[in-house]
């Protein structure tokens, strides 16, 4: 029979080995090392702190008011209604709802620039039952007194697949809920 301390040492070693193995195993939904989307998310959150990772390709800000989706979508006018979650307004980095998507659900003035989504919107889909949202360009005055209205979407005009000269200029939104 082995001395009691030998059994305790063997048991402690086995438990420690199990803990090390469990702590080094990647989570089931882990993004592979070197993944370009992972690097983009890391860089974004470093530059715009306060985001919470909620999926392999998503970061949430302000308790879900803004969700950034870092995966790329091919342009398709038919994709907007199916890719935009209910009761959200979706902003796309490409025309015809292509590129990356930001999902927005706010009922007050919101600064897209503070979360790194300024000057990135080229198409919009409004997937809320009612209300509207105005998009503004930040003026030269820090007080926002010189901000200018660019375009609007709402329950009566849901789709804006191409923003033309207003694309890539929106810095803030002013929703009416």
Q: Which 3 state secondary structure label does DSSP give 18?
A: helix
pLDDT band at 22 (very low <50, low <70, confident <90, very high): very low
Question: What percentage of the chain's residues is helix, strand, coil (to nearest 5)?
Answer: 25, 30, 40
Q: Which 3 state secondary structure label does DSSP give 25?
A: coil
Strand order of the β-sheet with 110-111 is 110-111, 172-176, 132-137, 148-154
Q: Is residue 129 in a domain?
A: yes
C-beta atoms surrounding 83 within 10 Å = 17
Number of domains, the chain: 1
Q: Is residue 17 in a domain?
A: no
Q: Is residue 9 in a domain?
A: no
Q: Is residue 148 in a domain?
A: yes
Domain assignment of residue 144, given as a range:
32-176
Q: Are 69 and 95 in contact (CB under 8 A)?
A: no
Segment 28-85, tens digit of pLDDT:
444 456 788 889 999 999 999 999 999 899 999 999 999 999 988 777 766 677 789 9
Q: Is residue 26 in a domain?
A: no
H or E segment to which residue 61 belongs? strand 58-61
The domain that contains 53 carries what CATH number?
Answer: 2.60.20.10
Q: The tokens 């308790």 sit on which residue?
A: 63
Region 148-152: mean pLDDT is 96
Check pLDDT > 60 for residue 8: no
Contacts (Cβ under 8 Å, ≥6 apart) of 15: none
Q: Is residue 22 in a domain?
A: no
Q: Is residue 115 in a domain?
A: yes
Region 111-127: mean pLDDT is 95
Lowest mean pLDDT of 69-73, 121-125, 171-175, name the range. Answer: 69-73
DSSP string for 27-44: PTTPPPTT-HHHHHHHHH
For the whole model, what pTM was predicted?
A: 0.77
C-beta atoms surrounding 15 within 10 Å = 10
Q: Is residue 25 in a domain?
A: no
């Amino acid at each position: 029979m082995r001395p009691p301390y030998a059994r305790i040492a063997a048991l402690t070693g086995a438990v420690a080995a199990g803990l090390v193995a469990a702590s080094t195993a990647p989570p089931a939904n882990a993004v592979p090392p070197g993944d370009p989307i992972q690097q983009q998310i890391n860089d974004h959150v470093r530059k715009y702190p306060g985001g919470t990772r909620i999926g392999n390709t998503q970061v949430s800000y302000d308790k879900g008011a803004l969700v950034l989706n870092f995966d790329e979508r091919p342009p398709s006018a038919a994709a907007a209604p199916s890719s935009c979650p209910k009761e959200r307004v979706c902003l796309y980095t490409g025309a015809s709802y292509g590129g990356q998507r930001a999902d927005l659900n706010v009922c007050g003035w919101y600064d897209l620039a503070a979360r790194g989504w300024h000057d990135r919107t080229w198409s919009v889909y409004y997937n809320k039952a009612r209300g509207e949202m105005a998009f503004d360009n930040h003026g030269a005055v820090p007080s926002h007194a010189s901000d200018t209205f660019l375009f609007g979407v709402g329950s009566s005009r849901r789709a804006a697949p191409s923003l033309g000269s207003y694309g890539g200029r929106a810095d803030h939104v002013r929703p009416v809920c």
